[in-house]
């Protein structure tokens, strides 16, 4: 079966991982800009990082027949450093213009602080001006429900952004209902130990339906699994779900959301 | 799918998880200063969440998520060294839960 992974950090993965993606039918991936696992010292480090995801990864991916797109943005974790964040914001237009960058992301909140909110608001305004798709990172653990609500309030206040052009990622059982009610897309992240399991992701599709959901691995530099989407699709199969439903959740849904950016073409 | 099929498919894994939880709680009972540990906000949230598991209403997952969530609405002033624990730690002046 064909799968699109709409959230995976390939800068942190090996060439063997690209090969595994290719074997498993994951031939289109999108990579959001995020925290590197440590706080970067200067805006130059972000410049190099954006070059990496706009230029280097698409070439690496293409060797394996994989189509690689990216999202450009200032992550919430480093947004607490306002002076650094404002320097990074100035770079965004240059990289949003690149031919494989498909929107602003992943932006959002990490600890729900006032500085994080200020930088998120600035990026929502850039997204609105440029009519960019938006990929939202929500906080983890006990901060998630509060953060998701704060983020949705901020987006609703930016009336130029259509909810149907925003995907709110790392949703869990207690945030999905409100995200859907507000007309946003939502992402489910499969992350061993700390986030959702394949079983819970399939429960979610059974409970909330298959509309407006994209499932991703968020595979990165920490304990994570680039084949998590395949394993989740297998869990659906094991429960007797139809192939068409699996194709919708793992291919047609992400294709529908991402294709709102004319630069995006799925393999 | 009939529910009994879900019992057949998922019982072994969840039996193992149940024993992990029991062993985790026994460990706290066995080690020194257990009373102090049982006052910790994480332990108390955990016990509260376990009680939710006994309500057969199909909403157990959402209720456990809510029991472990920060119920406040206002942004925090600065991140400083605040960290995520997986359970909400009431601050000074916050009502107990
Ligand atoms: Zn990510």
Q: Has residue A265 been placed in a domain? A: no
Q: Is 70 exceeded by the pLDDT of residue A139?
A: yes
Tell me the longest C-alpha to C-alpha distance in chain B. Answer: 50
CATH of the domain at A247: 3.20.20.140
Contact A224, A191 (CB under 8 A): yes
What angle in degrees, to the nearest 10, is found between the helix axes of A114-130 and A82-96? 20
Using the predicted structure, report yes or no on whether residue B40 has a pLDDT greater than 50.
yes
Tell me the pLDDT tens digit for each residue of A161-206: 999 999 999 999 999 999 999 999 999 999 877 679 999 999 999 9
Q: Tell how far the Cα of A52 is from the centroid of ligand 1, in angstroms.
A: 16
For residue A244, what are its two tokens? 């068409």
Contact at CB, B78 and A80, closer than 8 angstroms: yes
Instruction: Name residue, tokens 């001006």.
Output: A129
With pLDDT > 70 as the criterion, what percentage of chain A qualifies? Answer: 100
Question: Is B48 within 8 Å of B67 (Cβ atoms)?
Answer: yes
Is pLDDT at A243 greater than 60 in this prediction? yes
**A26 belongs to a structural domain:** yes
Residue B94 predicted with pLDDT over 90: no
Q: How confident is the model at residue B83 (pLDDT cuts 50, 70, 90)?
A: confident
Q: Which residue of A77, A141, A201 is the best one to mutate when testing the B interface, meaning the one whose CB has the most B CBs within 10 A?
A: A141
pTM: 0.96
Lowest mean pLDDT among A44-48, A210-214, B45-49, B93-97: B93-97
A103 Cα to the center of ligand 1, angstroms: 14
Tally of CA atoms within 13 A in the half-sphere of A174 that contains its CB? 25
C-alpha B21/C-alpha B27 separation (Å) is: 10
Residue B69 backbone phi and psi in degrees, to 5: -100, 150
- What is the band of B80 on the pLDDT scale with cuts at 50, 70, 90? confident
User: Could you tell me the sign of the dihedral formed by the alpha carbons of B60, B63, B67, B69, in that order?
Assistant: positive
Task: Test A142 with B73 for CB contact under 8 angstroms.
Answer: no
User: In which domain, by residue range, is A93 found?
Assistant: 3-258
> Does A264 map to a domain?
no
Cβ contacts (< 8 Å) between A153 and chain B: which residues?
none
Q: Average pLDDT for residues B17-34, to the nearest whole number?
A: 98
CA B45 to chain centre: 5
Identify the CA nearest to B6 among candidates A215, A249, A188, A235: A235
Confidence of residue A229 (pLDDT cuts 50, 70, 90): very high
Quick one: pLDDT at residue A193?
A: 74
Residues of chain A in contact with residue B71, where contact means CB-CB under 8 angstroms, are 146
pLDDT at B52 over 60: yes
Please indicate, yes or no, if residue A202 is contained in any of the structural domains: yes
Give chain A's domain count. 1
Asked if A174 lies within 8 A of B9 by C-beta distance, the reply is no
Q: What is the DSSP string of A194-245?
A: TSB-HHHHHHHHHHH-STTEEEE----SSS--TTHHHHHHHHHHHTT--HHH
> Separation of A135 CA from ligand 1 center, angstroms?
10
pLDDT over 90 for what percent of chain A? 98
Band the pLDDT of B22: cuts 50, 70, 90. very high
Q: What is the pLDDT of residues A85-121, one digit of tens each?
A: 999 999 999 999 999 999 999 999 999 999 999 999 9
Residues of A in contact with B52 (CB under 8 A): none
**What is the pLDDT of chain A when averaged over all its residues?**
97
For residue A263, being part of any structural domain is answered with: no
Does the beta-carbon distance from B77 to A113 stay under 8 Å?
yes
Mean pLDDT throughout A219-225?
Answer: 93
Question: In the numeric block, which tokens belong to residue A154?
Answer: 């901020």
């Amino acid at each position: 079966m064909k799968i699109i992974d709409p959230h995976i950090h390939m800068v942190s993965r090996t060439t063997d991982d690209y090969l595994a993606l290719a074997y498993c039918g994951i031939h289109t991936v999108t990579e959001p800009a995020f925290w590197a696992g440590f706080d970067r010292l200067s805006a130059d480090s972000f410049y190099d990082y954006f070059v990496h995801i706009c230029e280097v990864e698409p070439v690496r991916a293409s060797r394996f027949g994989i189509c690689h797109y990216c999202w450009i943005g200032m992550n919430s974790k480093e947004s607490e450093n306002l002076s650094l964040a404002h320097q990074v914001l100035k770079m965004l237009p240059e990289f949003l213009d690149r031919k494989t960058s498909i929107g602003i992301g992943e932006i959002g909140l990490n600890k729900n602080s006032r500085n994080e909110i200020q930088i998120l608001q600035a990026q929502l305004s850039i997204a609105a001006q440029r009519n960019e798709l938006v990929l939202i990172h929500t906080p983890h653990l006990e901060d998630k429900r509060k953060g998701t609500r704060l983020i949705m309030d901020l987006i609703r206040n930016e009336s130029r952004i259509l909810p149907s052009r925003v995907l709110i990622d790392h949703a869990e059982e207690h945030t999905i209902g409100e995200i859907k009610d507000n007309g946003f897309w939502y992402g489910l992240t499969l992350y061993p130990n700390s986030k959702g399991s394949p079983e819970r992701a399939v429960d979610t599709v059974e409970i909330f339906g298959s509309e407006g959901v994209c499932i991703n691995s968020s595979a990165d530099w920490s304990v994570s699994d680039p084949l998590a989407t395949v394993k989740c699709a297998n869990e659906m199969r094991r429960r007797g779900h139809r192939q068409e439903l699996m194709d919708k959740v793992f291919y047609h849904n992400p294709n529908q959301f991402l294709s709102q950016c004319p630069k995006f073409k799925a393999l | 799918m009939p529910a009994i099929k879900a019992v057949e498919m998922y019982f072994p894994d969840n039996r193992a998880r149940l024993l992990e939880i029991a062993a985790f709680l026994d460990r706290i009972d066995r080690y020194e200063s257990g009373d102090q540990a049982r006052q910790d906000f994480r332990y108390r949230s955990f016990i509260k969440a376990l009680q939710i598991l006994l309500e057969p209403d199909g909403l157990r997952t959402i209720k456990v998520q809510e029991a472990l969530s920060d119920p406040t609405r206002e942004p925090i002033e600065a991140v400083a060294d605040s960290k995520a624990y997986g359970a909400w730690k009431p601050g000074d002046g916050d009502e107990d839960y």
